[in-house]
A and B are shown apart, each in its own frame.
Chain A
Amino acid sequence: MKEIIKTEKLTFDYTVYDENGDETDKNRVLTDISLDIEEGSFTAVLGHNGSGKSTLAKHFNGILLPTDGRVLVDGIDTSDESRIYDIRQTVGMVFQNPDNQIVATVVEEDVAFALENLGVEPKEIRRRVDEALKTVDMYEYRKHAPHQLSGGQKQRVAIAGIIAMRPRCIVMDEPTAMLDPKGRKEIMATVKTLNRDYGITVVMITHYMDEAAKADRVIVIDKGNILLDGTPKQIFSNVELLKSVGLDVPQATELMYELKKSGLDVPDDIIDENECAEYIYSLFCADDKEQ
């Protein structure tokens, strides 16, 4: 498979300046990060606050440029200013606070915003706006004002505003952090649809484990480095390590881990409820047969 985003030894320093413009402090946020995001994949980037995960995300469409190393989006170096709009169109970005991403006073006008900026034909805009709204299941709200919507609905409008550009990849920076459980579910369902049915590559920054469990690949960032990289099952088996960097594991995994500690022979790739219930059930049955 082809990679849509590629970072090569990406290093980023956050420099603090005083009033005179002199450098006063320099913090290394990301160190030597090399990774490929495959086209069509769903990747979760995990890490606690301040781990550098959001900074990494902002490199994926040229909002931030690396201090050292480089980032390629579909083969284009993000530092190439002349192609910045190609990059932004290829990799769309959704942020944490849905309120602060919506520009217009009517839902459909907001979804049209990016296309208007790109100078797309009015008829084509109309078509793509309707399509985008239907994709996120917000078509019936197209005439509403943003402040009449719930958090989850607003975030879906923000997503529609991005997918109207027909990006090949969407990077989401903690899109569910400010939502209630219902809103979180709505967003996760939308993300799944985008990835599975529309083949859009998704990179999702999060600190919710249950969300990461739904991805194909999980990357754990700690102190600006890649700590772990693998499938959710591979990642969540490192219970101790994850806890040591301030992350939680799903309760199902934790239960399996605890049972293992008390001497049971437990496979360490159980991450969801069904597998977990299935395993416990088999445990009881096996036990009985031995008798």
Chain B
Amino acid sequence: MLKDITIGQYFPGESIIHRLDSRFKIILDIAYVVMLFMAGNFYSLAMAGVFMLIIYMLSRISFRLIFKSLRPIMPVIVFTCLLNLFFIQGESEPLVRLGFISIYMEGATTSVFMAVRIIFLIIGMSVLTYTTSPIELTDAIERLLSPLKVLRFPVHELAMMMTIALRFIPTLIEETDKIMSAQKARGANLDTGGLVKKAKALIPVLIPLFVSAFKRASELALAMECRCYKGGDGRTRMKQLKWGMRDIVAVFVMGVMIAVIVLLNISIPIFGL
């Protein structure tokens, strides 16, 4: 059933990672990504991995979720691996030669290195979405982007749209389910047939869905007007994001980590296996 789809990947909790200021979480996540790309050898990469592992343990999120978040991205990882494996040419003798394809030691190393880097990247990103609710994320993005208002960038409008989208996705999914059932009860054949036939069969579902979505939109606009909505100007927020001791500690730890990675990069030459 469509209802079973979960929106976002947020897992509520009370861990220290959950309680970090969401703005800092986004910034630190970006710093982590930068750090991963700075990590030039396996030692520094391993260091970043250990760091991520500790974060995961602190957030008290089940390790199964790591694999869950990796599954959809697996094809990309495999593709990158193969690309590196086949197309990087080294100076030494190739390890394997298969017709016009040859695999070099350098290619093998890089491909493993890249795979590990992407995996760490995904894991790092998912810690953010696992421990931060969509609304906190939206909120944080709005606040982080707010300096762009000066450039007339519609920051508030963007955040408002994201909030409304998040709010209505479950409603519209439920509605789609209902309309599909109603049309199936009238003998609609939504599951079989070729692509064109399937697309055609969806018309009786899509039209009512659009009609209803527009109706909802206009009613919502009216309700918002009745609650004195007038755009982002002069708006206050109930929840104030305040950064506390733990955020400062987090920034400090991140700084130390980056320094360690840089040191490892300098002291041990690239691919120093």
Contact = CB atoms under 8 A, between A and B. Distances in A.
Interface string A26-68: 0000000000000000000000000000000000010100000
Interface stretch (B166-174, B191-199, B200-208, B252-260): B166-174
B226 interface: yes
Given A99-B171, A106-B135, A116 B220 contact: no
A147 interface: yes
A99 B230 CA distance: 21
Query: Interface size class for chain B?
Result: 20 to 34
B151 interface: no
A167 to B, nearest CB: 10
Nearest to B231: A117
From A85, A97, A147, name the one whose CB has the most chain B CB atoms within 10 angstroms. Answer: A147
A117 B227 contact: yes
A101 B134 contact: no
Interface string B68-104: 0000000000000000000000000000000000000
A95 interface: yes
Contacts of A161: 227
B245 to A, nearest CB: 21
B234 interface: yes
25 contacts: A63-B225, A85-B228, A95-B219, A95-B223, A97-B216, A99-B171, A99-B216, A100-B219, A100-B220, A100-B223, A102-B167, A103-B224, A104-B163, A105-B134, A106-B133, A116-B237, A117-B227, A117-B235, A119-B235, A122-B237, A126-B238, A129-B238, A147-B174, A158-B223, A165-B227
Question: Can you list the 9 inter-chain pairs with the closest CB atoms, starting with the nearest?
Answer: A114-B227, A100-B219, A101-B223, A112-B238, A147-B170, A125-B238, A93-B226, A117-B228, A119-B234
Interface of B: 133-135, 163-164, 166-167, 170-171, 174, 215-216, 219-220, 222-230, 234-240
Given A117-B235, A122-B239, 12 more contacts: A63-B225, A85-B228, A95-B223, A103-B164, A103-B167, A105-B134, A105-B163, A105-B167, A114-B227, A125-B236, A147-B170, A158-B223
